[in-house]
């Protein structure tokens, strides 16, 4: 596959675009990297098809945008600790990441973006959903936006909604501290450091309560937000093919790996990119 003039094709009204004419395995010029970054900021989740990316080239591409970081609960590939295998095998019932979330918000500085490359895909199923959190915030009333602007959410890595989707992965390939609990506090409304736009920044997988409140006191409003922020009109759906690569902005996007391919194998390679402290 040779680089051709880059073409960007949106896949839904809310977010998401496929990019054609780019071979990610090659050393791309700065102008192309800048155009891909612009597409990421504009569309929030971007996708490439038919990429032949060995782990070293996958990492080299990711490094053009930010510093790859290790996932806190799983070992990376041998020789490539920043690249983790995200797999569901034929006999398994629970997948990894099968709940709406923004990655690792229980870290003080959550990742700015995630990249996922498809190594093996089921014959059907295994799609990933994405939700635009700019739109989720903007659809709320002015009064609700003012209320949320003064709140902070507490994220916990042990929240059951998320921990059950990584349980088997930890047993199979956990790091030296697989059971540590990570907790961080972030604004419920965060300002994107590059675009200046505000986004809703809580998620059902990790957010347990509002700072200064108990979990029961927080439950009603959080439950409303969790349902609201993934309304269909805020989302897009990506159907994977072998060699496809997804690249999404964790600062303004949530995602959910659909677990509808029991009896089949799905193997992905994932890289997360260092971010900053949400403000």
Tokens of 158: 């042990």
Residues 100 and 132: beta-carbon distance below 8 Å: no
Catalytic residue IDs:
101, 103, 255, 270
């Amino acid at each position: 596959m040779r680089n051709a003039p880059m073409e960007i094709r949106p896949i839904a009204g809310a977010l998401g675009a496929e990019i054609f004419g780019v071979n990610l395995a090659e050393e791309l010029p700065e102008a192309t990297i800048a155009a891909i970054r612009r597409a990421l900021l504009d569309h929030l989740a971007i996708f490439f098809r038919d990429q032949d990316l060995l782990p070293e080239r996958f990492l080299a591409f990711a490094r053009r945008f930010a510093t790859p970081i290790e996932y806190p609960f799983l070992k990376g590939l041998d020789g490539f600790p920043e690249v983790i295998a995200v797999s569901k095998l034929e006999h398994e019932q629970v997948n990894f990441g099968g709940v709406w979330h923004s990655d690792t918000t229980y870290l003080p500085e959550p990742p700015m973006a995630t990249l996922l490359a498809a190594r093996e895909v089921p014959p059907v199923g295994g799609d990933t959903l994405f939700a635009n959190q700019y739109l989720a915030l903007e659809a709320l009333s002015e009064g609700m936006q003012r209320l949320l602007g003064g709140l902070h959410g507490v994220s916990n890595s042990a929240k059951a909604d998320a921990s059950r989707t990584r349980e088997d992965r930890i047993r199979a390939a956990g790091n030296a501290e697989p059971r540590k609990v990570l907790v961080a506090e972030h604004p419920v409304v965060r300002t994107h450091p590059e675009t200046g736009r505000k986004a809703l920044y809580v998620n059902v997988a990790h957010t347990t309560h509002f700072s200064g409140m108990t979990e029961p006191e927080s439950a009603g409003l959080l439950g409303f937000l969790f349902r609201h922020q993934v309304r269909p009109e805020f989302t897009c759906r990506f159907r994977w093919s072998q060699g496809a690569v997804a690249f999404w902005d964790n600062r303004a996007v949530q995602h959910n790996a659909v677990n509808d391919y029991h009896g089949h194998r799905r193997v992905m390679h994932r890289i997360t990119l260092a971010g900053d402290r949400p403000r």
